[in-house]
Amino acid sequence: MSKITGTVDFGAIEVTILIVTGLTCYVLVRSFRSCLSKPLKGPSSTFRNFFFGVMPYLRSAPDAGAIYEDWASEYGEVFSVPAFLGSRNIVFTDPKTIAHFAARETYGYVATPHSKHFTEKLFGRGLFWAEGDSHKRQRRELNPAFSNAAIKT
Domain borders along the chain are 1-37, 40-104, 106-153
| pTM more than 0.85 | no
Average pLDDT, the chain: 78
124: burial class by Cβ within 10 Å (0-12, 13-18, 19+)? exposed
Check: CB of residue 43 under 8 Å from CB of residue 71.
yes
Residue pLDDT, tens place only, 17-36: 889 998 888 888 877 766 66
Helix (H/G/I), strand (E/B), else coil: 82? strand
pLDDT tens-digit map of 47-90 = 667 778 888 888 888 888 888 899 899 988 888 888 877 777 88
pLDDT at 37: 65
